Structure 1
Amino acid sequence: MATNQHDLLIVYTSKNGRTGAMVEPIRQGMEYAGVSVSVRTVEEVQWEEMLLAKGVIIGTPVRFGDVDWQIKRLFDVTAFQDYPGPLSGKVGGAFTGGGRPGGGAELALLSMIHILLNHGMVIQGHAHSAHYGPVALRESTEEEVTTVCNAWGRHWAELVQRLGPAG
Protein backbone atom coordinates (compact mmCIF):
# COMPACT_ATOMS: atom_id res chain seq x y z
CA MET A 1 0.00 0.00 0.00
CA ALA A 2 1.23 3.48 -0.87
CA THR A 3 2.12 5.58 2.14
CA ASN A 4 3.31 8.86 0.66
CA GLN A 5 1.38 11.33 -1.41
CA HIS A 6 2.82 13.07 -4.44
CA ASP A 7 1.31 15.88 -6.46
CA LEU A 8 1.79 14.01 -9.74
CA LEU A 9 2.18 10.33 -10.53
CA ILE A 10 3.73 9.24 -13.81
CA VAL A 11 2.70 5.73 -14.87
CA TYR A 12 4.28 4.29 -17.99
CA THR A 13 5.30 1.24 -19.95
CA SER A 14 8.02 1.11 -22.55
CA LYS A 15 8.85 -1.76 -24.86
CA ASN A 16 11.87 -0.38 -26.76
CA GLY A 17 12.93 2.41 -24.40
CA ARG A 18 11.52 5.36 -26.37
CA THR A 19 8.58 6.05 -24.04
CA GLY A 20 10.70 5.32 -20.97
CA ALA A 21 13.29 7.87 -22.07
CA MET A 22 10.61 10.57 -21.93
CA VAL A 23 9.89 10.04 -18.23
CA GLU A 24 12.97 11.73 -16.76
CA PRO A 25 12.70 15.04 -18.67
CA ILE A 26 8.97 15.19 -17.88
CA ARG A 27 9.68 14.54 -14.19
CA GLN A 28 12.42 17.18 -14.18
CA GLY A 29 10.07 19.76 -15.69
CA MET A 30 7.44 18.99 -13.08
CA GLU A 31 9.88 19.21 -10.20
CA TYR A 32 11.37 22.42 -11.60
CA ALA A 33 7.88 23.92 -11.35
CA GLY A 34 7.74 22.94 -7.69
CA VAL A 35 5.61 19.81 -7.46
CA SER A 36 6.50 16.41 -6.06
CA VAL A 37 6.49 13.53 -8.52
CA SER A 38 6.41 9.76 -8.22
CA VAL A 39 7.25 7.47 -11.16
CA ARG A 40 5.96 3.91 -11.54
CA THR A 41 5.83 1.39 -14.34
CA VAL A 42 2.40 -0.01 -15.11
CA GLU A 43 3.52 -3.32 -13.60
CA GLU A 44 4.42 -1.78 -10.23
CA VAL A 45 1.84 1.00 -9.76
CA GLN A 46 -0.75 0.51 -7.05
CA TRP A 47 -4.30 1.79 -7.26
CA GLU A 48 -3.84 3.59 -3.93
CA GLU A 49 -1.03 5.67 -5.46
CA MET A 50 -3.36 6.83 -8.22
CA LEU A 51 -5.99 7.78 -5.66
CA LEU A 52 -3.53 9.77 -3.54
CA ALA A 53 -1.99 11.76 -6.40
CA LYS A 54 -3.45 15.09 -7.51
CA GLY A 55 -2.75 14.11 -11.11
CA VAL A 56 -1.86 11.00 -13.09
CA ILE A 57 0.21 11.25 -16.25
CA ILE A 58 0.33 8.18 -18.50
CA GLY A 59 3.10 7.13 -20.88
CA THR A 60 2.28 4.53 -23.50
CA PRO A 61 4.04 3.24 -26.58
CA VAL A 62 1.98 3.25 -29.76
CA ARG A 63 0.39 -0.13 -30.45
CA PHE A 64 -1.34 -0.24 -33.84
CA GLY A 65 -2.36 3.39 -33.39
CA ASP A 66 -3.67 2.75 -29.90
CA VAL A 67 -2.75 2.54 -26.23
CA ASP A 68 -0.58 -0.33 -24.97
CA TRP A 69 -2.67 -3.20 -23.62
CA GLN A 70 -1.18 -2.99 -20.10
CA ILE A 71 -2.11 0.67 -19.77
CA LYS A 72 -5.59 -0.01 -21.18
CA ARG A 73 -6.03 -2.90 -18.74
CA LEU A 74 -5.03 -0.69 -15.79
CA PHE A 75 -7.91 1.65 -16.56
CA ASP A 76 -10.33 -1.11 -17.56
CA VAL A 77 -10.00 -2.83 -14.18
CA THR A 78 -10.26 0.45 -12.27
CA ALA A 79 -13.41 1.67 -14.05
CA PHE A 80 -16.35 2.36 -11.78
CA GLN A 81 -20.04 2.42 -12.60
CA ASP A 82 -20.76 5.24 -10.19
CA TYR A 83 -20.10 8.82 -11.21
CA PRO A 84 -18.10 10.64 -10.17
CA GLY A 85 -15.42 7.98 -9.96
CA PRO A 86 -12.45 8.21 -7.62
CA LEU A 87 -10.20 9.80 -10.28
CA SER A 88 -12.76 12.49 -11.11
CA GLY A 89 -11.35 16.00 -10.79
CA LYS A 90 -7.73 14.88 -10.83
CA VAL A 91 -5.40 16.15 -13.54
CA GLY A 92 -4.68 13.66 -16.33
CA GLY A 93 -2.37 13.66 -19.33
CA ALA A 94 -0.57 11.37 -21.75
CA PHE A 95 2.69 11.02 -23.67
CA THR A 96 3.84 8.42 -26.17
CA GLY A 97 6.75 6.99 -28.07
CA GLY A 98 6.15 5.84 -31.63
CA GLY A 99 7.91 4.79 -34.78
CA ARG A 100 7.31 7.17 -37.66
CA PRO A 101 5.15 10.18 -38.53
CA GLY A 102 1.70 8.92 -39.42
CA GLY A 103 2.29 5.79 -37.35
CA GLY A 104 -0.55 6.42 -34.92
CA ALA A 105 1.02 8.51 -32.14
CA GLU A 106 -1.75 11.14 -32.13
CA LEU A 107 -4.36 8.38 -32.24
CA ALA A 108 -2.76 6.72 -29.22
CA LEU A 109 -2.72 10.03 -27.33
CA LEU A 110 -6.34 10.75 -28.19
CA SER A 111 -7.34 7.23 -27.11
CA MET A 112 -5.58 7.76 -23.78
CA ILE A 113 -7.20 11.17 -23.36
CA HIS A 114 -10.63 9.58 -23.98
CA ILE A 115 -9.92 7.06 -21.22
CA LEU A 116 -8.88 9.82 -18.81
CA LEU A 117 -11.97 11.88 -19.67
CA ASN A 118 -14.20 8.86 -19.05
CA HIS A 119 -12.69 8.69 -15.58
CA GLY A 120 -13.68 12.35 -15.06
CA MET A 121 -10.12 13.67 -15.13
CA VAL A 122 -9.14 17.25 -16.02
CA ILE A 123 -7.26 17.45 -19.34
CA GLN A 124 -5.26 20.44 -20.57
CA GLY A 125 -4.06 21.07 -24.10
CA HIS A 126 -0.81 22.83 -24.89
CA ALA A 127 -1.19 25.70 -27.35
CA HIS A 128 2.43 25.97 -28.49
CA SER A 129 3.51 22.37 -29.09
CA ALA A 130 2.61 18.83 -28.12
CA HIS A 131 -1.08 19.78 -28.19
CA TYR A 132 -2.27 16.33 -27.07
CA GLY A 133 0.94 15.36 -25.31
CA PRO A 134 4.59 14.85 -26.21
CA VAL A 135 5.59 12.28 -28.83
CA ALA A 136 9.04 10.77 -29.30
CA LEU A 137 9.46 9.23 -32.75
CA ARG A 138 12.29 7.07 -34.01
CA GLU A 139 13.68 10.09 -35.90
CA SER A 140 13.38 12.51 -32.94
CA THR A 141 16.64 13.75 -31.50
CA GLU A 142 17.30 13.40 -27.80
CA GLU A 143 17.51 17.20 -27.54
CA GLU A 144 14.07 17.65 -29.16
CA VAL A 145 12.46 15.07 -26.91
CA THR A 146 14.08 16.48 -23.77
CA THR A 147 13.06 20.06 -24.58
CA VAL A 148 9.43 19.21 -25.37
CA CYS A 149 9.03 16.80 -22.45
CA ASN A 150 10.58 19.21 -19.97
CA ALA A 151 8.28 22.06 -21.05
CA TRP A 152 5.26 19.76 -21.03
CA GLY A 153 6.10 18.58 -17.50
CA ARG A 154 6.25 22.19 -16.28
CA HIS A 155 2.94 22.88 -18.04
CA TRP A 156 1.19 20.05 -16.16
CA ALA A 157 2.79 20.94 -12.84
CA GLU A 158 1.53 24.51 -13.20
CA LEU A 159 -1.99 23.20 -13.85
CA VAL A 160 -1.90 21.15 -10.64
CA GLN A 161 -0.73 24.23 -8.76
CA ARG A 162 -3.49 26.41 -10.25
CA LEU A 163 -6.29 23.92 -9.65
CA GLY A 164 -5.04 22.54 -6.36
CA PRO A 165 -7.28 19.44 -6.61
CA ALA A 166 -7.41 17.25 -3.56
CA GLY A 167 -5.46 14.02 -3.67
Structure 2
Amino acid sequence: MIRVLVGYYSRTGTTEKMAEKVTEGVRNSDADVEVDLKEITEVDVETLPDYDAVILGSPTYYGLPAAEVKKFLDESVTHHGDLDGMVGGAFSSSSNKAGGNESTILALLEALLIHGMAVRGDPEGDHYGPVVVGEPEDGDLEQCKRYGDRLAKFTELVCG
Protein backbone atom coordinates (compact mmCIF):
# COMPACT_ATOMS: atom_id res chain seq x y z
CA MET A 1 0.00 0.00 0.00
CA ILE A 2 1.29 3.46 -0.88
CA ARG A 3 0.99 6.41 1.51
CA VAL A 4 0.18 9.91 0.31
CA LEU A 5 0.27 13.18 2.23
CA VAL A 6 -1.82 16.12 1.07
CA GLY A 7 -0.55 19.09 3.05
CA TYR A 8 -1.99 22.55 2.57
CA TYR A 9 -2.29 26.03 4.00
CA SER A 10 -5.51 27.99 3.55
CA ARG A 11 -6.46 31.38 4.90
CA THR A 12 -9.82 31.83 3.13
CA GLY A 13 -10.83 28.19 2.70
CA THR A 14 -10.25 27.99 -1.06
CA THR A 15 -7.02 26.00 -0.89
CA GLU A 16 -8.59 23.77 1.75
CA LYS A 17 -11.48 22.96 -0.64
CA MET A 18 -8.92 22.13 -3.31
CA ALA A 19 -7.00 19.89 -0.88
CA GLU A 20 -10.18 18.03 0.00
CA LYS A 21 -10.86 17.34 -3.68
CA VAL A 22 -7.26 16.28 -4.37
CA THR A 23 -7.58 13.91 -1.41
CA GLU A 24 -10.88 12.59 -2.77
CA GLY A 25 -9.18 11.90 -6.11
CA VAL A 26 -6.35 10.02 -4.38
CA ARG A 27 -8.76 8.04 -2.24
CA ASN A 28 -11.06 7.14 -5.15
CA SER A 29 -8.27 6.10 -7.50
CA ASP A 30 -7.68 2.48 -8.44
CA ALA A 31 -4.39 2.58 -6.52
CA ASP A 32 -3.92 0.72 -3.26
CA VAL A 33 -3.51 3.87 -1.20
CA GLU A 34 -3.75 5.42 2.23
CA VAL A 35 -4.01 9.22 2.22
CA ASP A 36 -3.58 11.80 4.99
CA LEU A 37 -5.06 15.28 4.58
CA LYS A 38 -3.42 17.78 6.93
CA GLU A 39 -3.07 21.50 7.45
CA ILE A 40 0.63 22.17 6.80
CA THR A 41 1.16 23.56 10.31
CA GLU A 42 -0.03 20.20 11.68
CA VAL A 43 2.39 18.11 9.61
CA ASP A 44 5.42 16.88 11.54
CA VAL A 45 8.32 17.23 9.11
CA GLU A 46 9.88 14.13 10.71
CA THR A 47 7.08 12.00 9.19
CA LEU A 48 7.93 12.90 5.58
CA PRO A 49 10.00 9.74 4.92
CA ASP A 50 6.95 7.68 5.94
CA TYR A 51 5.12 8.73 2.75
CA ASP A 52 5.49 7.70 -0.86
CA ALA A 53 4.05 10.97 -2.18
CA VAL A 54 3.71 14.51 -0.88
CA ILE A 55 1.24 16.89 -2.52
CA LEU A 56 1.40 20.49 -1.31
CA GLY A 57 -1.23 23.21 -1.68
CA SER A 58 -0.76 26.90 -1.07
CA PRO A 59 -2.46 30.19 -1.77
CA THR A 60 -0.42 32.59 -3.85
CA TYR A 61 1.09 35.62 -2.15
CA TYR A 62 3.13 37.91 -4.38
CA GLY A 63 3.62 35.05 -6.84
CA LEU A 64 5.01 32.69 -4.20
CA PRO A 65 3.76 30.11 -1.67
CA ALA A 66 2.46 31.23 1.70
CA ALA A 67 5.06 31.67 4.45
CA GLU A 68 3.64 28.68 6.34
CA VAL A 69 4.31 26.38 3.39
CA LYS A 70 7.75 27.89 2.78
CA LYS A 71 8.60 27.35 6.47
CA PHE A 72 7.60 23.68 6.12
CA LEU A 73 9.83 23.31 3.05
CA ASP A 74 12.70 25.04 4.85
CA GLU A 75 12.34 22.57 7.74
CA SER A 76 12.22 19.64 5.29
CA VAL A 77 15.92 20.19 4.56
CA THR A 78 16.60 17.89 7.53
CA HIS A 79 15.48 15.09 5.19
CA HIS A 80 17.61 16.12 2.23
CA GLY A 81 18.32 12.90 0.35
CA ASP A 82 15.77 10.88 2.33
CA LEU A 83 12.89 11.72 -0.02
CA ASP A 84 14.70 10.73 -3.21
CA GLY A 85 12.44 8.68 -5.47
CA MET A 86 9.19 9.76 -3.85
CA VAL A 87 6.45 11.52 -5.84
CA GLY A 88 5.66 15.21 -5.41
CA GLY A 89 2.86 17.46 -6.54
CA ALA A 90 1.47 20.94 -5.99
CA PHE A 91 -1.63 23.09 -6.40
CA SER A 92 -2.44 26.72 -5.76
CA SER A 93 -5.14 29.36 -5.48
CA SER A 94 -5.11 33.11 -6.01
CA SER A 95 -7.51 36.01 -6.13
CA ASN A 96 -6.53 37.23 -9.61
CA LYS A 97 -6.16 35.73 -13.06
CA ALA A 98 -2.43 35.76 -13.83
CA GLY A 99 -1.93 36.33 -10.10
CA GLY A 100 1.03 33.98 -9.79
CA ASN A 101 -0.57 30.54 -9.48
CA GLU A 102 1.88 28.87 -11.84
CA SER A 103 4.91 30.53 -10.27
CA THR A 104 3.68 29.32 -6.87
CA ILE A 105 3.26 25.77 -8.12
CA LEU A 106 6.67 25.85 -9.81
CA ALA A 107 8.31 27.12 -6.60
CA LEU A 108 6.78 24.18 -4.71
CA LEU A 109 7.78 21.70 -7.41
CA GLU A 110 11.32 23.09 -7.51
CA ALA A 111 11.73 22.35 -3.80
CA LEU A 112 10.34 18.84 -4.27
CA LEU A 113 12.66 18.25 -7.22
CA ILE A 114 15.65 19.29 -5.11
CA HIS A 115 14.59 16.52 -2.70
CA GLY A 116 14.87 14.11 -5.66
CA MET A 117 11.14 13.64 -5.98
CA ALA A 118 9.41 12.73 -9.25
CA VAL A 119 6.66 15.03 -10.52
CA ARG A 120 4.06 14.44 -13.20
CA GLY A 121 2.72 17.03 -15.60
CA ASP A 122 -0.65 16.87 -17.31
CA PRO A 123 -1.10 17.36 -21.07
CA GLU A 124 -4.73 18.39 -20.42
CA GLY A 125 -6.15 21.06 -18.17
CA ASP A 126 -3.84 22.43 -15.50
CA HIS A 127 -0.42 21.34 -16.76
CA TYR A 128 1.69 21.89 -13.61
CA GLY A 129 -1.02 21.27 -11.04
CA PRO A 130 -4.53 22.53 -10.31
CA VAL A 131 -5.15 26.26 -9.95
CA VAL A 132 -8.17 28.19 -8.75
CA VAL A 133 -8.83 31.89 -9.19
CA GLY A 134 -11.33 33.25 -6.69
CA GLU A 135 -14.04 30.86 -5.58
CA PRO A 136 -13.58 27.34 -7.00
CA GLU A 137 -16.04 26.30 -9.68
CA ASP A 138 -17.13 22.76 -10.44
CA GLY A 139 -14.56 22.40 -13.24
CA ASP A 140 -11.78 23.55 -10.92
CA LEU A 141 -12.73 20.98 -8.31
CA GLU A 142 -12.91 18.27 -10.97
CA GLN A 143 -9.34 19.17 -11.98
CA CYS A 144 -8.30 18.71 -8.34
CA LYS A 145 -9.91 15.26 -8.17
CA ARG A 146 -8.35 14.27 -11.50
CA TYR A 147 -4.95 15.44 -10.23
CA GLY A 148 -5.26 13.36 -7.07
CA ASP A 149 -6.25 10.30 -9.09
CA ARG A 150 -3.35 10.74 -11.54
CA LEU A 151 -0.79 11.23 -8.77
CA ALA A 152 -2.03 8.22 -6.81
CA LYS A 153 -1.69 6.00 -9.90
CA PHE A 154 1.71 7.51 -10.71
CA THR A 155 2.89 6.95 -7.14
CA GLU A 156 1.81 3.32 -7.28
CA LEU A 157 3.73 2.94 -10.55
CA VAL A 158 6.88 4.66 -9.23
CA CYS A 159 6.89 3.45 -5.62
CA GLY A 160 4.58 0.45 -5.57
TM-score under structure 2 normalisation?
Answer: 0.92
**What's the CA shift for 1:6?**
5.8
Aligned match of 2:109 in 110, 113, 124?
A: 113
Tell me the distance in 2 between the aligned counterparts of 1:37 and 1:139. Answer: 25
* Matched position secondary structure for 1:7: strand
* Matched position secondary structure for 1:16: coil
RMSD across aligned positions (CA): 1.7
Tell me the distance in 2 between the aligned counterparts of 1:63 and 1:53. Answer: 28
The 8 Å contact of residues 58 and 93 in structure 1, kept in 2 or not, is answered as yes
**What's the CA shift for 1:49?**
2.5
1:55 aligns with 2:53: yes
User: Which position in structure 2 is the counterpart of 1:160?
Assistant: 155
Tell me the distance in 2 between the aligned counterparts of 1:77 and 1:53. Answer: 16
Aligned match of 1:72 in 65, 70, 75?
A: 70
- Structure 1's unaligned 5+ residue stretches are none
1:92 aligns with 2:88: yes
Q: Count how many residue pairs are aligned between Structure 1 and Structure 2.
A: 158
Tell me the distance in 1 between the aligned counterparts of 2:145 and 2:108. Answer: 20
**What's the CA shift for 1:147?**
0.8
Residues 1:147 and 1:73: Cα distance change in structure 2 (over 3 Å): same
**What's the CA shift for 1:77?**
1.9
- Greater Cα offset, 121-130 or 41-50: 41-50
1:122 aligns with 2:114: no
User: Which position in structure 2 is the counterpart of 1:137?
Assistant: 133
Letter matched to residue 43 of structure 1: T
**What's the CA shift for 1:139?**
5.4
Tell me the distance in 2 between the aligned counterparts of 1:139 and 1:100. Answer: 11
Tell me the distance in 1 between the aligned counterparts of 2:83 and 2:96. Answer: 33
1:53-77 Cα deviation digits (max 9, x unpaired): 1000001110100011111111112
Letter matched to residue 78 of structure 1: S
Aligned match of 1:36 in 25, 34, 37?
A: 34
- Greater Cα offset, 41-50 or 118-127: 41-50
Tell me the distance in 2 between the aligned counterparts of 1:98 and 1:157. Answer: 25
Residues 1:153 and 1:44: Cα distance change in structure 2 (over 3 Å): same
The 8 Å contact of residues 63 and 99 in structure 2, kept in 1 or not, is answered as yes
The 8 Å contact of residues 6 and 52 in structure 1, kept in 2 or not, is answered as no
The 8 Å contact of residues 14 and 135 in structure 2, kept in 1 or not, is answered as no
Tell me the distance in 2 between the aligned counterparts of 1:72 and 1:88. Answer: 19
Tell me the distance in 1 between the aligned counterparts of 2:92 and 2:156. Answer: 24
